A and B are shown apart, each in its own frame.
Chain A
Amino acid sequence: DAGVTQSPTHLIKTRGQHVTLRCSPISGHKSVSWYQQVLGQGPQFIFQYYEKEERGRGNFPDRFSARQFPNYSSELNVNALLLGDSALYLCASSLAAIPGATDTQYFGPGTRLTVL
């Protein structure tokens, strides 16, 4: 079975632009989470979606938004990009609604976003 896939692999944008990142979960997984990993740091939680509903939101500004589609794939949108948004954006999927407690999150390879 295919793992979590993310597109694009790399992306270069300029300040003020908008970006959309995409994630396809493992087949059968209904929960998708997004994390931001700035160079030299651990991943920071952005959003979790389960069954197309937002279940959790991290401490990120409203410029960050996400959604989940009926096929459980997900998009992360970031508006008005800042230099500080440059990071690796990771998507993770799991079977359960509370993956941290009783289930395992499987991570994709990430999208490397560079903002110039």
Chain B
Amino acid sequence: AQSVTQPDIHITVSEGASLELRCNYSYGATPYLFWYVQSPGQGLQLLLKYFSGDTLVQGIKGFEAEFKMSQSSFNLRKPSVHWSDAAEYFCAVGSDGSSNTGKLIFGQGTTLQVKP
């Protein structure tokens, strides 16, 4: 069965420091992978996605993620964190269409706190 694991429930970084949020997935075929961000009281905003091709994916707000099939990982990175990046981050895996369903399976999320 498909699953997504985000090992870090809570991460605190200083403003200006680099960031890496971990995501591991379990999927039988080539996965379709996403990172979403959720600010308090808000819905989910797509940061970036991977379908195929270049394994280093650029997203909005200066985020990037690297797909590593050998490690079943899709870690999110940002070289310099801003205070406004404080939010909850979700990794998700999508269907390849074989099940005829477009559902996303989400990890439990990582809460990012940014220290001034």
Contacts and interface: CB of A to CB of B under 8 A. Distances in A.
A28 interface: no
Nearest to A57: B101
B53 to A, nearest CB: 13
Interface residues of B, number: 29
A84 interface: no
The size bracket of the interface on A is 20 to 34
Given A42-B107, A42-B108, A43-B90, A101 B44 contact: no
Contacts, number: 88
A32 to B, nearest CB: 10
B31 to A, nearest CB: 10
B70 interface: no
Interface stretch (A13-21, A66-74, A75-83, A104-112): A104-112
Contacts of B41: 109
Contacts of B32: 100-102
Interface in A91-109: 92, 94, 96-109
Contacts of B49: 104
Contact of A106 (B42, B46, B100, B102): B46
Contacts of B99: 56
A49 B97 CA distance: 15
A90 interface: yes
A104 B46 contact: yes
A50 B103 CA distance: 12
B42 A48 contact: no
Contact of A56 (B46, B51, B90, B100): B100
The 7 A-B pairs at the shortest CB distance, nearest first, are namely: A100-B94, A56-B101, A42-B106, A45-B103, A99-B102, A107-B44, A107-B43
Interface of B: 4, 32, 36, 41-46, 49, 51, 90, 92-97, 99-109
